[in-house]
Every structure is written in structure tokens, then in C-alpha cells.
């Protein structure tokens, strides 16, 4: 390198294919301002060459032994000033992304015209990026697609937020109530309150709660539902019935439920804890429930027999009531397995002084089978569907 010559760029070429090394070497050698100082056949050799030569530019095969991205990171770590130009077959999106992430500042497609390789080396040496035209089109298209997807996600989330806001507005929840029946006496002893959203678009109740959960407002919506449902106590139609309310463990632990129930008679309130959300801290749940239960409030484990956690709930929470899930009630008159499982739960409950409420009774034979198993309370379409309070508590004549 004699004085007076223009500045030369020192380049290494790392590719396991000897033909590629030779071809690229030839292309670079014909440029007066480019000096090929070393070649390497794998990642380790490439890093070693970078350490030895601290080149201006390293051309790195994306798929060489030891990995292109690894080579790229190693080269940059060994020689800070070295710019990496990735070299790959066309249309290899995953590699483009990986190489750019691992610090490559240029990307040249194998088989690109010689001039493009030289151009990429010069631009890299000057600290500029370079993407092969064919790659650039794809990268831009991919970026555009990604931006579009992101925009759509933002739009979607905005729509969810708006829906949940509407559901949280006072008056948006119109509860339905389902009779809970003493099946021996055909008397209605309580009602289960069920949130209903008569909003547009009409969607299943679960969808509203799922939306709220998606933006972290699940508990807010539950508390709003309890607020609306507790208005049953202002209605003479409730008579002496109790009100059973569905709540999640989080809504209990956060105390929001109790705020919504302030001043209402504890001995006519049942909280049904669902097992949809796993309980991680039973002690915290029991603590939050203690004042409510001490004042006569009752606790029910909902959906018992439906999921893996219900037995644990029953053991830890010592409920006053176990609600047999519809999946056990269905066909209990004809299905021996369901009957045996229900019978086991019923025996356990009676031993522990826990009341059983069978849910989802849809036929007379199911009702009769449950009665003969010693179940005292039930609810379901056969007895009465969820409906406005006045109809829910109207006397039964034909159970």
C-alpha cells in the first residue's frame, strides 16, 4: 500500500463454497480500491480472519457452517469497525431478517451482477446499507404487510375497548335470573343472577367477558354485573329468595364485589366461585371472604365436576354449596358413570354438611334421578329458564 494510492478497502470473504470464494475474489480483485485480505470457509475461520485483519468489510454467506448470523455477530465483536454484508440465495426472508438482526448492514443476492457486489462493498465500507433490488422489493412488501397487520391489531383493540366501555356504562347490563328450586317441595328458594348484555351487536355473554379480559378489565365488568344484579334486592318480586352471583376469585380478592354488595343482607347472598380462572392464592381468597362469611354470606363452588380444579376448590374453600355441573346432570338417568360420579360428590357433600344444587336439569327423568340420589336443590331449563326476576320467582306448579 504505497502512499499516493487512493484508500483501499480491505475485505474478507466467508463462504464454504470454494467456487463462490473464487468468483467473488475475482470480482473484488479487479477493483483497484478493494483488497481481498482473506477468505474463510466457516464461521470460526471468518471470526479469526476478522480478528487478524480488522477488515473494512466482511462478505458473509448466510448459510455457511457455524451459521451466518453467528459469524456476523462474531466478526463485529472481534472487529468493531468491520461492516458485514450478507450473501445469500434469493427470497430467503428468514435469513435476511436474522442477518440484519445480527448486525449485517448489507444484503446481496448470490448471482447478483458483479457491479452490485462491488457497490455493496463500497457502500458498506462507507457506513451505508445496501439491499439487492430484488430483496428490497420483498423486504418493503413484508414491512408493509407487517405495518398493515399492526394497524389492524390497533384497530381491533380500539373496537374492543369501545365495546367494553359501552358494556360498563350504567344500565348496559340487564340481568336475567334463574330459579333455584327445592325439588322436593317444588318451591323456589333462590335465584342465580346471570349477566345479559342487550347491546348491539348481540353477542354471547362469554364474549363480553372475554373482551374485557383481553384489555385487563374483567374484574370491572364483573363488579358492574354484580351491581346490576344486586338490584334484585330492591324488587318485591324477590320475596324471601336468596341471590346467587357468579364471581371470579380476582373480583373477590380485589374486594370490588363487596363494595357492590354494601348494605345488602349477607344471609341472602351466595357467591358462586367459578373455576375458569385457576386460584393461585387460596389464603388470600379465604381472607377476602372471611368477613362476608362471618356475616352469614354463603359460598358456592360452581361447575363442580367440569374441570380439574373443582375438587381442590371444594377442599380449600369449604363451600356451603356445591353446584353440580351440567355435564354431570345431563343424561344422569341413563348414564351409570355420571350417576356414580354425582353420587360420590353427593355423599361427600352430605358428610361435610354442604348443600348440593344440580345445574342444567333439562328433563323430567334427570330431575327424578337427581331426586332419588338425594339431591335437594336444582335448576335448569326443565324447571325454569333464565328470565326477568318477576317471572323467575313466580310459583312453580308442575315440578
Chain residues that interact with ligand G, rule: CB under 6 A: 178, 194, 246, 302-303, 326, 359-362, 380-381, 386
Query: What is the four-CA torsion angle of 93, 97, 99, 105, rounded to 10 degrees?
Result: 110
In the complex, the smallest distance separating the C-beta of residue 321 from ligand G, rounded to whole angstroms, is 12
User: In this chain, which stretch among 3-11, 71-79, 90-98, 245-253 interacts with Mn ion, using CB under 5 A?
Assistant: 245-253
By CB under 5 A, is residue 246 in contact with Mn ion? yes
Q: Cell numbers at residue 24, please?
A: 467473488
- The residue among 211 and 302 lying less far from Mn ion, judged by its C-beta, is 302
- Binding to Mn ion, residues 251-280 (CB under 5 A): 272
305 binds, options ligand G, Mn ion, none, Cβ within 5 to 8 A by partner type: none
Output the smallest distance, CB 94 to ligand G, in A.
Answer: 45
For Mn ion, the closer CB: 206 or 287: 206
Question: What is the rounded distance in angstroms from the CA atom of residue 395 to the CA atom of residue 146?
Answer: 60
Q: Site size for Mn ion, by CB under 5 A?
A: 3
- Which of Mn ion, ligand G, none does residue 326 bind (CB under 5 to 8 Å by kind)? ligand G
CB of 276: closest distance to ligand G in angstroms?
8
Q: How many CB atoms lie within 10 A of CB 16?
A: 16
The answer to the question of residue 229 lying near Mn ion (CB under 5 A) is no
Q: What angle do CA 330, 331, 334 make, to 5 degrees?
A: 160
The three grid cell numbers given for residue 107, joined into one nine-digit string: 444484503
Nearest-CB residue to ligand G?
A: 380
Q: Phi and psi at residue 100, in whole multiples of 5°?
A: -65, -40
CB of 243 to Mn ion, least distance (A): 12
**Interacting span for Mn ion (CB under 5 A) from 12-20, 89-97, 301-309, 362-370:** 301-309
Q: What residue 380 binds from Mn ion, ligand G, none (CB within 5 to 8 A, per partner kind)?
A: ligand G
From candidates 15, 92, 302, 366, binder to Mn ion by CB under 5 A: 302
Residues that bind Mn ion (CB under 5 A): 246, 272, 302
Amino acid at each position: 500500500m504505497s502512499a499516493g494510492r487512493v484508500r483501499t478497502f480491505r475485505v474478507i470473504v466467508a463462504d464454504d463454497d470454494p467456487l463462490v470464494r473464487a468468483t467473488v475474489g475475482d470480482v473484488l480483485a479487479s477493483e483497484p480500491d478493494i483488497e481481498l485480505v482473506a477468505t474463510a470457509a466457516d464461521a470460526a475461520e471468518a471470526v479469526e480472519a476478522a480478528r487478524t485483519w480488522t477488515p473494512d468489510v466482511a462478505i458473509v454467506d448466510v448459510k455457511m457452517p457455524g451459521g451466518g448470523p453467528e459469524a456476523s455477530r462474531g466478526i463485529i465483536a472481534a472487529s468493531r469497525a468491520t461492516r458485514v454484508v450478507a450473501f445469500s440465495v434469493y427470497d430467503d426472508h428468514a435469513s435476511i431478517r436474522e442477518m440484519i438482526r445480527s448486525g449485517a448492514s448489507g444484503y446481496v443476492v448470490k448471482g447478483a451482477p458483479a457491479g452490485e457486489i462491488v457497490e455493496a462493498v463500497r457502500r458498506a465500507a462507507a457506513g451505508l446499507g445496501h439491499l439487492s433490488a430484488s430483496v428490497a422489493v420483498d423486504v418493503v412488501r413484508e414491512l408493509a404487510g407487517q405495518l398493515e397487520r399492526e394497524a389492524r391489531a390497533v384497530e381491533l383493540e380500539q373496537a374492543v375497548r369501545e365495546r367494553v366501555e359501552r358494556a360498563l356504562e350504567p344500565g348496559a347490563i340487564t340481568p336475567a335470573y334463574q330459579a333455584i328450586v327445592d325439588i322436593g317441595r317444588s318451591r323456589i328458594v333462590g335465584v342465580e343472577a346471570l349477566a345479559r348484555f342487550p347491546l348491539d351487536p348481540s353477542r354471547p355473554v362469554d364474549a363480553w367477558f372475554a373482551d374485557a379480559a383481553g384489555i385487563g378489565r374483567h374484574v370491572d365488568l364483573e363488579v358492574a354485573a354484580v351491581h346490576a344484579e344486586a338490584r334484585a334486592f330492591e324488587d318485591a318480586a324477590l320475596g324471601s329468595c336468596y341471590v346467587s352471583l357468579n364471581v371470579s376469585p380476582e373480583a373477590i380478592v380485589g374486594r370490588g364485589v363487596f363494595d357492590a354488595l354494601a348494605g345488602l343482607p349477607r344471609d341472602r347472598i351466595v357467591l358462586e366461585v367459578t373455576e375458569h380462572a385457576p386460584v393461585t392464592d387460596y389464603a388470600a381468597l379465604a381472607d377476602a371472604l372471611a368477613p362476608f362469611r362471618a356475616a352469614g354470606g354463603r359460598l358456592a363452588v360452581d361447575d363442580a365436576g367440569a374441570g380439574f380444579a373443582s375438587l381442590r376448590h371444594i377442599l380449600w374453600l369449604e363451600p356451603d354449596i356445591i353446584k353440580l355441573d351440567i355435564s354431570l346432570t345431563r343424561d344422569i338417568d341413563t348414564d351409570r358413570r355420571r350417576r356414580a360420579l354425582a353420587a360420590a360428590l353427593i355423599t361427600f357433600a352430605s358428610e361435610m354438611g354442604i348443600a348440593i344444587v344440580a345445574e342444567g336439569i333439562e328433563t323430567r327423568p334427570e330431575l327424578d334421578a337427581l331426586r332419588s340420589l338425594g339431591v335437594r336443590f336444582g335448576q335448569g331449563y326443565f324447571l325454569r329458564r333464565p328470565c326477568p326476576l318477576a317471572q323467575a320467582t313466580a310459583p312453580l306448579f308442575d315440578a
